Chain A
């Protein structure tokens, strides 16, 4: 901290104070307001706070917050402090807040909104950038994803010192990373194909087989990967196989974990030492949390877009326990509910389905069309009362998820 210019030091301290007020008054986790206050006082604060640290930026449509946590855990195995915006505050103010809060940490793992990656690269001069995936998200406010990929590509071409860790199985990501000078390719998988049927380079229809994807026209193809997710195991860059055995559920989190281990490997971390740290992560900003409520065990899942819902369904209890779906359409969710029609709800047939949220009627029409029986409920408390003692899976989009956490208490 002492190496910061005086104005930055004051700004950073003021921001910290505002964050504390936010937490103490219960308005939030303080990770945004602190940074906002700091940036007002010193607009160049992020650059100054980043200087001299080993910065990792994590971005993509889905899994940013969880992967940021996993990378932090993996790098933590090196025994040094790691700064991180662990609560998903991924705009400039959230990054400032995270760095201010850990002024002496030599490492920083920062989640970055995918649209702001180029400007955050300029501001933080990262050592490593992690690219998870790109798929359709709230498009009433987000940019078109081909455009996002092109901007990433331009940013990497202009920053040849960056090491990119990228998912080779996502064609848009692979194309974007292809302009970087150093890429560590990870075979992290891709279940959602709806946004990558066509070649990002030339637009021809992509072909897929067991070896991956390739373009028959321009020759763009899946790069060969040095880190590989293989079911419940992974193969590291030295060819050693490791059982992942994570506490976090689902294929998507195994994918995130391999990405995290590949990042830690760039800093010299050993997989055998980093893996136990990853296994100790049981929930991330409320996601995957288990909450007890009047004899029911609630499992909370966040799903913000069609690819996220696909991964959330993968985590549902296989024995068909009841599930509550909650959908809102506030600004952070996207005001448009069209995406509901990109999700295949038929996998829910056979389990009791409850529907809540501000746009539950949109969801009702969607489920009716997929012939999934459902009941409307007023919220998570009503859902708890509606199901028998035992488990209840909860899948909600962003603000619906936050509302449920608030109802259940911030401990969730």
Chain B
């Protein structure tokens, strides 16, 4: 497959941000590739070589961390123009399979011949400003508060957004990119304020399967996923609902998730992109430009899973 030189062609559907100049510039390129640069900022270098992800005894470890895919088997080694997927604070925000979003984005990019550079940033490391897609996962109450404090103080994510980066935030991560969210005792805690939403604590926990129809302008099939949260989220005038729930709780007012420009959040927790490959492709296209469809063989299991989950919750 020929690769559209995606990153330079890119100004994808819905993307409101601007592309930064000098994508090949310094910063993370060397660091991410040889696993050395990020360590300068951390005494123990926990993120190096991905050892914090799977443990040193893992025979499958590669210097590239947890991800493997066709891109590594020779199709297109990660180079200076690789798509940089930055997973923010897996040590705090990775409660339930959040890694799945990173894996699916990398897989769907690599299947299209786009080189990928996954970068994981622990909470004792600075968030790089030169990433293309930033992922924030779910977490318990206290880790969520800590993550918000450290991200606010660090400023790296905010700078990356200024550079036009894409953000995909899930559950606790979704709440903390808003202006305010509920802490361990339900008290208001300040968020990053990069998406115009505010969250608080609801009366009961929303746990279960979710179905939701996506805003038609995004051109994404309906969402299927699982939610597990007590948060209630209100959208301000600068954010649009991602979807309308037909099953489940979502934001609590009939809507689910929110987006503005290239920043998108959802209550579908954990590996939300696994069951929603259209959403994964939307994020990739925001970062890398229009994408060719994948061959049916590469979509078969995902389609079967979607069909099974949709059938399981349909009346």
Interface positions of A (Cβ within 8 A of B): 136, 139-141, 144-147, 191-194, 197-198, 203-205, 207-209, 216, 310, 335-342, 344, 346-347, 349, 361-362, 364-366, 368-371
What's the least CB distance linking B63 to chain A, in Å? 15
A139 touches B91 (CB 8 A): no
Which of chain A's residues has its CB closest to B107's CB? A369
Shortest Cβ gap from B165 to chain A (Å) = 23
Smallest distance from the beta carbon of A142 to chain B beta carbons, Å? Answer: 11
Q: Do A344 and B54 contact each other (CB < 8 Å), given the known contacts A207-B44, A361-B304, A370-B68? A: yes
Q: Which residues of B contact A (CB under 8 A)?
A: 43-44, 46, 52-55, 57-60, 66, 68-69, 90-92, 94-100, 103-104, 107, 122-124, 140-143, 146, 207-209, 226, 228, 269-271, 274, 301-302, 304-305, 308
Partner of A203, one of B53, B97, B146, B269: B146
Query: A136-B96, A336-B228, A365-B302 given as contacts; is B59 within 8 A of A347 (CB)?
Result: yes
The minimal Cβ–Cβ distance linking A311 to chain B, given in whole angstroms, is: 11
List 6 tightest A-B contacts by C-beta distance, closest first: A338-B270, A197-B91, A341-B100, A341-B97, A338-B97, A346-B60
How far is A335 from B96 in the complex, measured between Cα atoms in Å? 13
New A-B pairs, 8, CB < 8 Å, besides A139-B96, A342-B99, A366-B274: A144-B141, A197-B122, A197-B123, A310-B55, A341-B100, A347-B58, A364-B301, A364-B305
Would you give the shortest CB distance from A263 to chain B, in whole angstroms?
27
Q: List 6 A-B contacts (CB under 8 A).
A: A209-B44, A338-B226, A341-B103, A344-B58, A364-B301, A371-B69
Chain A contacts for B52, CB-based, 8 A: 193, 197
For A342, the chain B residues whose CB sits under 8 A away are 94, 96-97, 99
Complex contact B271–A338 (CB within 8 A): yes
Query: Which residues of chain A come closer than 8 Å to B53, judged between CB atoms?
Result: 194
Q: Please indicate the chain A residues that have their CB under 8 angstroms from the CB of B91 in the complex.
A: 197-198, 205
- Tell me, rounded to whole Å, the shortest Cβ–Cβ distance linking A339 to chain B: 6
Q: Are A346 and B122 in contact (CB under 8 A)?
A: no
- Given A344, A364, A366, which contacts B60 in the complex, CB threshold below 8 Å? A344
CB–CB B301/A361 < 8 A: yes
Smallest beta-carbon distance B189→chain A, Å: 13
Give the contacting residue for B140; candidates A146, A208, A341, A366; CB below 8 A: A146
Residues of the A chain whose Cβ atoms lie less than 8 Å from the Cβ of B142: 146, 203
B103 pairs with A205, CB closer than 8 A:
no
Min CB distance B171 to A, Å, is 11
Known: A347-B58, A347-B60, A369-B107. A361 touches B228 (CB 8 A): no
A336 adjacent to B226 (CB under 8 Å) = yes
How far does the Cβ of A369 sit from chain B's closest Cβ, in whole Å? 5
Of the candidates B100, B123, B124, B301, which one forms a contact with A338 in the assembled complex, judged by CB atoms under 8 Å apart? B100
| Cα distance A139–B95 in the bound complex, in angstroms | 9
A193, A197, A340 pick with most chain B CB within 10 angstroms:
A197
Interchain nearest-CB distance for B254 vs A (Å): 22
Within the complex, the shortest CB–CB distance from B8 to chain A, in Å, comes to 28
What residues of chain A lie closer than 8 Å to B68, measured between beta carbons?
A: 346, 370-371
Within the assembled complex, what's the spacing in Å between the Cα atoms of A338 and B271?
6
Q: Are A339 and B97 in contact (CB under 8 A)?
A: yes
Known contacts being A147-B140, A205-B123, A369-B107, is A338 close to B57, with CB within 8 Å? no
Most A Cβ at <10 Å: residue of B141, B270, B302: B270
CB neighbours of A204 from chain B (8 A): 124
Q: Please, which residues of chain B bring their CB within 8 A of the CB of A141?
A: 207
CA distance A139 to B171 in the complex (A): 14
A103 to B161, CA, bound (A): 67
**Whole-angstrom distance between the Cβ of A28 and the nearest chain B Cβ:** 27
What chain A residues lie within 8 Å of B228 (beta carbons)? 139-140, 336
The one of A146, A341, A344 that contacts B271, using a Cβ cutoff of 8 Å:
A341
Q: In the bound complex, how far is the Cα of B66 from the Cα of A368, in angstroms?
A: 15
On whether the beta carbons of A205 and B99 are closer than 8 Å, the reply is no
- Chain A residue numbers with a CB within 8 Å of B123 are 197-198, 205
Write the nearest CB–CB distance from B93 to chain A, whole angstroms: 11
Q: When the two chains form their complex, are residues B271 and A205 in contact, meaning their CB atoms are under 8 A apart?
A: no
B58 near A144 (CB under 8 angstroms)?
no
How far is B47's CA from A152's CA once the two chains are assembled, in angstroms?
A: 31
Contact of B308 with A361 in the complex, beta carbons under 8 Å: yes
Known contacts: A144-B140, A336-B96. The answer to whether A193 contacts B44 by CB under 8 A is no
Which of B57, B97, B122 lies in contact with A340, CB distance below 8 A? B97
Q: How far is the CA of A191 from the CA of B53 in the complex (A)?
A: 11
How many Å lie between the Cα of A147 and that of B68 in the bound state? 35
- Which of A136, A198, A310, A341 has a CB less than 8 Å from the CB of B99? A341
Residues of B within 8 A of A347 (CB): 58-60
Give every chain A residue within 8 A of B96 (Cβ-Cβ). 136, 139, 336, 338-339, 342
- Residue numbers in A under 8 Å from B301 (CB-CB): 361, 364-365, 368
Q: How far is the CA of A92 from the CA of B305 in the complex (A)?
A: 38
- A369-B140 contact given A140-B207, A198-B123, CB 8 Å threshold: no
Q: Is the CB of B59 within 8 A of A198?
A: no
Tell me which residues across on chain A come within 8 A of B44, comparing CB atoms: 207-209
C-alpha gap A342/B305 in the complex (Å) = 18
Q: Of all chain A residues, which has the CB nearest B277? A: A365
* Given known A-B contacts A205-B46, A341-B271, A365 and B140 have beta carbons under 8 A apart: no
Tell me the nearest residue of chain B to A207, going by C-beta.
B44
Pair B103/A361 contact, Cβ less than 8 Å: no
